[in-house]
Amino acid sequence: MNRIHQQELEQLQSLFKEEGIDRAEDRIKILAMFLATEKHITDTEFIEFLKEKGHNFEASFVRDTLQLFTRYGFARRNKFEGEEPRYEHRHLGHHHDHLICIKCQKIIEFENNQLEAMQLQTAAQHGFHMLQHKMEIYGLCSDCINTREASLSLASAKVGEHVQIKEFTGGSGMQNRLATLGLRSGDEVEILTNSGHGPLVLALNCSRLALGRGIAQKIIVLPNGRQKGEKPQVRLSQLTEGQKATIVRVTGGGAFRRRLMEMGFLKGTEITVEKYAPLQDPMELVLKGYHVSLRVCEAAQVFVSVGSK
């Protein structure tokens, strides 16, 4: 057992003695086993883990003990989207954030001192005294991306994902129906909602489209993930005044995409955010020496990498 874990066992023993917590010795044994786990674990998983290690504590006692660990600052209870609550170690003086794969539920911890400093700076700029925070980034881990099918039905796409329409399998009648909504092969859309039942809502250019699940299953799409070796991408609408970036791609419907490309929004072009309007919309941009005004919802369809080419 490492020094930090030994200190935490001693602190728990002291605290529980002061507070008169019952069955303190059993709870200390449970903490020792909890500290031996190396993952974010549900109470059910932890109960099974204890049994595998030869400890047959009542399930209700283990759950009550995990709640005590949380109450006294030895554990953190996380409720990630779409999952059961999970517990992790809470070591004093350490903070980390999480990457959560929405497909395999893998949870990756990460620390970034620059992000921590930026959050403090942002809070200070607004006269805000930050007490605590957490960052949860949802997406697909590298393993799930590498094993993913090259194409899939629109109904299987994940919320927040950008996909490109490849083809329609429902015949000419459905193609004509979707064309009247402005949805055509080659268009790139963002998945706004997809609960697994009921309608699926898409963002196309600056409009929302609601499609029935039966129709969505007949639309074949290509996932549009970042390729290996490419720089991280953000939306043009996320940049601040004075920030420079390089255009990576323009998404949205065909006519919309062509209009932006005719305006000079081409891959590899450097672009600068000059300013935002008083109500933050539209935004004024400079590219190729020209000043261009773009609505924020339109700028959200342009993906850039921050920094020079």
The whole-chain average pLDDT of the chain stands at 85
224-253 burial, b if ≥16 CB within 10 A, otherwise e?
Answer: beeeeeeeeeeebbebeeeeebbbbbbbbb
pLDDT, tens digit, 9 for 90 and up, residues 50-78: 999 999 999 999 999 999 999 988 888 98
Can you tell me whether residue 155 is helix, strand or coil? helix
Q: Which residue, 184, 203, 223, sits at the end of a domain?
A: 223
For residues 169-176, give the mean pLDDT.
78
Confidence of residue 93 (pLDDT cuts 50, 70, 90): low
pLDDT, tens digit, 9 for 90 and up, residues 21-32: 999 899 999 999
- Same-domain pairing of 85 and 7: yes
Which residues lie below 8 Å from residue 33, measured CB to CB, with a gap of 6+? Answer: 49, 50, 53, 55
**What is the enclosing helix (H) or strand (E) of 285?**
strand 283-287
- Residue 2 pLDDT: 66
147 residue type, one letter: T
CATH, residue 120: 3.30.1490.190
Q: Which residue has the tokens 């940049």?
A: 239
What's the rounded Cα separation, in Å, for the pair 296 and 89? 41
- What range does the domain containing 161 cover? 152-223
Confidence of residue 270 (pLDDT cuts 50, 70, 90): very high
262 within domain boundaries: yes
| In contact, 301 and 252? CB cutoff 8 Å | yes
Answer whether residue 149 shows pLDDT above 70.
no
pTM of structure? 0.58
What's the rounded Cα separation, in Å, for the pair 65 and 70? 9
- Residue 96 CA neighbour count, 13 Å, CB half: 16
CATH, residue 209: 2.30.30.90
More confident position, 98 or 145: 98
176 within domain boundaries: yes
228 within domain boundaries: no
Packing angle of the helix pair 24-36, 43-52 (nearest 10 deg): 100
- What's the number of domains the chain is made of? 4
